[in-house]
Amino acid sequence: MSTLLFSSIWIGILILLFFLLVHVNVNLKKKFKFSTRVIISTVLGFAVGIVFQSTLGMVGAEQVPDVIKNVTTAASLVGRGFTSLLKMVVIPLVGLSVYNSIINSKNNENLKKLTGKSVVYYTVTVAISAIIGISVAMLFNLGVGMKLPEGMEAWTGKGEYKGLVDVVVSFIPSNIFKAMSETSVIGVVIFAAFLGFATNRMSLKNPEKIQPLKDVTSALFAVMTSVTTTIIKIIPYGVAALMFDLTASYGLEVFKNLVTYLIVMFISLALVVVMQSINLAIHGINPFTYYKKATAPLILALTTTSSMGTLPVTIETLEKEVGVSSPTANFTATLGTTIGMNGCAGVFPAVIAIMIANMNGIAITPVFLISLITVIALGSFGMAGVPGTAYIAATVVLGGMGLPFDPVAIVFPIDSIIDMGRTAVNVNGAMVISTVVDKEMGSFNESVLKSERVIEA
């Protein structure tokens, strides 16, 4: 069979499968949860890719590379197109998130104390989470021997490590528009923070003049969140295309490395939960009693993969089940949807950075590791707690370390499995920090924690 005919047949099959996915995700969305549809799409992409590999014997051996290139290029329209859309929303979403959070904060001493404690805990725990992810990834030599999917080889070796001083200095944007065009997210976060504090100062002097700006910002943030949600809805199509790309290009061989990735992520996330539990125990809070009362938001986080979407239940559970005061529950838990997410902004970018460094043959030195942990801790500020946040965090960290982003596509097709656990770890981290901060503030009601459950999962 000729290369053109064989490729045309398979492209036609992919088009039909695309419409099948549209039917599942549009007409059957009430029957299947979003997470279920993502899994269905992943399995479908996997199965079709394996079938494609098994039919390559119908063409000559010399035709196989051209056939694979033709068919996977067609599939990449959806897969790589989705990753581009995801990167498109990074700058406006993060910038608006940071600015909106700052200008809507209240200026009083108690809030300053609460803010200080919350920010310190979120920063420290995300750094510890990064260290855990780095350690486990290095233990398993993640990334060594990994191959890039078709069309990504040109990125290999493009990442150039800059060193600690250069990395820190590069955070400060000399030209904010250049920083935005180059997707320098940390630079945008710094600029948004300065802008937010300046807005608050002006608001004290002339509140009537600044209020319209606050209203417009809130509206823009709501719209930007909606845009991000719309893009996230494309995930089932993206994962199916990327999974097909992987299996069509390399068959089952590529999944030997992905199994290692899954093991590394599961172990890392489990160790982060242990760390969070130790934090509770240190503050005299029984972790077992806490987890019995914290079930509802953790289950919701698993199914929605959205810290932001889980937030109302998180706050209600903290107040009614755990015994956290209302001001702390509302402020600290909400803060946890934008900074210090242990799973998405700590473990994931750490593991991915080690994997890509190993793929590119970059030496993982002590200075490299210190720089990586620093970038992860600083880059964890301003993340929006919506599905896909982990990839925004990875963009920040990989950009700061001079590492290419595109190899992330290797793990993306199967990452929906990990994302559920990652979000639960994020939410648990926010709840734990809210609890320990409230205990330190002296407003924690332990009798509520020891009482009967009110909210069912």
44-59 pLDDT per residue, tens: 888 888 888 888 878 7
Confidence of residue 118 (pLDDT cuts 50, 70, 90): confident
151: Cβ contacts below 8 Å, ≥ 6 apart: 72, 73, 76, 80
Handedness of CA 24, 29, 30, 36 (dihedral sign): positive
DSSP 32: S
pLDDT at 164 over 60: no
pLDDT at 76: 77
pLDDT at 92 over 90: no
Domain assignments of the chain as residue spans, ordered by start? 3-82, 89-95+106-186+250-450
Enumerate the H helices of 283-384 as residue ranges.
287-293, 295-304, 307-317, 326-335, 348-359, 366-379
For the packed helices 415-441 and 389-401, what is the interaxial angle rounded to 10 degrees?
90
Query: Which range has highest mean pLDDT (56-70, 225-239, 329-343, 365-379)?
Result: 365-379
In 3D space, the residue among 386, 442, 398 whose CA is nearest the CA of residue 143 turns out to be 398
DSSP 385: -
196-208 pLDDT per residue, tens: 888 888 888 888 8
89-95+106-186+250-450 CATH: 1.10.3860.10
388-409 pLDDT per residue, tens: 677 777 877 887 787 877 677 6
**Contact call for residues 127 and 373 (beta carbons, < 8 A):** yes
Q: Which residue has the higher pLDDT, 61 or 109?
A: 61
Confidence of residue 452 (pLDDT cuts 50, 70, 90): low
Handedness of CA 83, 173, 175, 214 (dihedral sign): positive
Per 3-state DSSP, what percentage of the chain is helix, strand, and coil (rounded to 5)?
A: 80, 0, 20
Residue 155 tokens, joined? 């990125």
**Contact call for residues 428 and 274 (beta carbons, < 8 A):** no
Confidence of residue 21 (pLDDT cuts 50, 70, 90): confident
Rg (CA), the chain: 23
Angle at alpha carbon of residue 197, lines to 194 and 198, rounded to 5°? 85
pLDDT at 277: 96
pLDDT at 317 over 90: no
pLDDT at 425: 94
Q: Residue 339, Cβ neighbours under 10 Å: how many? A: 22
In 3D space, the residue among 301, 313, 331, 333 whose CA is nearest the CA of residue 431 turns out to be 333
Residue 412 tokens, joined? 């993306």
**Contact call for residues 310 and 344 (beta carbons, < 8 A):** no
pLDDT at 386: 59
Confidence of residue 160 (pLDDT cuts 50, 70, 90): very low
In 3D space, the residue among 434, 398, 413, 425 whose CA is nearest the CA of residue 344 turns out to be 425
Residue 26 tokens, joined? 């549009």
419-450 pLDDT per residue, tens: 888 989 999 999 999 999 999 988 888 888 88
pLDDT at 142: 87
> In angstroms, how far apart are the furthest CA atoms of the chain?
77
pLDDT at 155 over 50: no
Please give the helix or strand (H or E) that residue 255 lies within, else none: helix 255-282
> What distance, in Å, lies between the first and last C-alpha atoms of the chain?
57
274-285 pLDDT per residue, tens: 999 999 999 999
